[in-house]
Chain A
């Protein structure tokens, strides 16, 4: 079985989804909300998403890729939002391997070499 993608919005939905896949490798990309035309308020997320998507075929078998919209700009800027508080996120975009200290933040997500390393190496 290859890998699968789930798309979620907001912290509670993210946590529920991650927990439902307990036991499998979980990778998550956190981005700012998109408007009606599908553009995010976060310009770095707009740059990072295609780079990340291009590397998805490198995901290990059985893994899950969760694409998570965190909220609008005002929500994200609040220093107490749940993503900052509970997941210790410091910026968007963030690409991480759930349950490990391995993550890529902001411009690091633009680099396909680093994304590939996150997906394929221990």
Chain B
């Protein structure tokens, strides 16, 4: 019926051909959201609460290996959710080993079945995809599984997987197209390597794996793959976890190394070739040193690229409506109300320049933006003191400044760092490491010893960090922290 409606509007079509797009006097929708991920869905569902006519467009371009997924975006399908579940699978493997020391007796050797785990994870993801579709339909939000791109003022073209194109107009747009993994640009990368987009639905066990990269994606994936019993190597160009507190990053790396993950430091792959076909087959990776001329060749079943993610902003027609992007990174600069340089076009989520790439941030930004648009509020998204957690085998939770950034911003003489190792009670009996778990807080001595950075390395780091993030938001000082009685026996009491 939209198609027929468009055909009636012949004058507009003629003008479109001449390159002139008039502003329609009544739009098809109040709001069109391009991208059905964390940010996009939160914004769409919020807008529906205010009785706005909303459309969500979501489309997944298949990976070079052919992987694709349903509604929900990166977090639900190929990010946080499957990552945490597989991390949990690895932790359970460790727990099984520990359990013997606590008296559990089982004689069989414990093995892991990749397919069983992956099917369960994908099944859960499927229920989330379905849940989002029910939620949207129930709230009368129109959802189309189609690729959206701007073709003119207030107008987008949506192309579905069969190639059928439709035009839609809206008063306001929110771009929430997210990012996709970057490839190396070397021979064999797209043909033979996989990314996180493929890993969580891989229909065969990856086997002996090379993870290229030192991002949290690389370390988390390497971590759980090793935890499941696979032979894993991480190839790092320079430092680990760029942007994170480097002392903590190095501790994470050390722990992983001591627990069976191999590291090849200061090398980059220059070629990937297939030696043997199969699922998995055998791949040969040729890598060059970053500090000299040394070349190495190593064979793996699987090569997982985790060297970064690039925003999906280059092919959505932003030039047709004049939205400025950072040409080098593809990110979209916005003001503190998530507005682009074009007043009726907003953006949320991972594509934003200089903002954190986290699901809860995208959700918060999307919701508050819509409330400002339709509910007359003025609350802006607070991007300061956002807590995060890296789910490496030894989990790392953080909120606020890293030690380096604090020193840079406030000066070394105005910073006091309090730190401590701790040994989780649960680790004592199975004789697990007694000097690896670690916590530190960074205080600003010029401001009542206000806690400006919180870092913890240990089990359940995410759970521990969440409460401290709230305290930091309230302006927690060292004195207040000291006067808070600890819960015993828990890690957080440190």
Report A's interface with B, CB cutoff 8 A. 100-104, 108, 111, 113-114, 117, 121
Contact = CB atoms under 8 A, between A and B. Distances in A.
Contacts of B133: 117, 121
B377 interface: no
A98 to B, nearest CB: 14
Given A102-B126, A103-B130, 17 more contacts: A100-B126, A100-B130, A101-B123, A101-B124, A101-B126, A101-B127, A101-B129, A101-B130, A102-B130, A108-B134, A111-B138, A113-B137, A113-B138, A114-B138, A117-B133, A117-B134, A121-B133
Interface of B: 123-124, 126-127, 129-130, 133-134, 137-138
20 contacts: A100-B126, A100-B130, A101-B123, A101-B124, A101-B129, A101-B130, A102-B126, A102-B130, A103-B130, A104-B134, A108-B134, A108-B138, A111-B138, A113-B137, A113-B138, A114-B134, A114-B137, A114-B138, A117-B137, A121-B133
A90 to B, nearest CB: 12
Nearest to B128: A101
Contacts of A117: 133-134, 137
> Chain A contact residues: over half helix, strand or loop, or mixed?
mixed
The listed residue with most B CB atoms (<10 A of its CB), out of A101, A103, A104, A108, is: A101
For the complex of A and B, list the 6 residue pairs with the smallest distance between their C-beta atoms, beginning with the closest.
Answer: A101-B127, A101-B126, A102-B130, A117-B137, A101-B130, A113-B137
B494 to A, nearest CB: 40
Contacts of B129: 101
A43 to B, nearest CB: 21
Nearest to A116: B137
Nearest to A113: B137
A41 B265 CA distance: 68
Contacts of B123: 101
A88 B137 CA distance: 24
Contacts of B124: 101
Contacts of A100: 126, 130
B162 to A, nearest CB: 12
A108 B124 CA distance: 19
The listed residue with most B CB atoms (<10 A of its CB), out of A100, A102, A103, A114, is: A102
Contacts of A108: 134, 138
Contacts of B137: 113-114, 117
A88 to B, nearest CB: 10
Nearest to A108: B134
Contacts of B130: 100-103
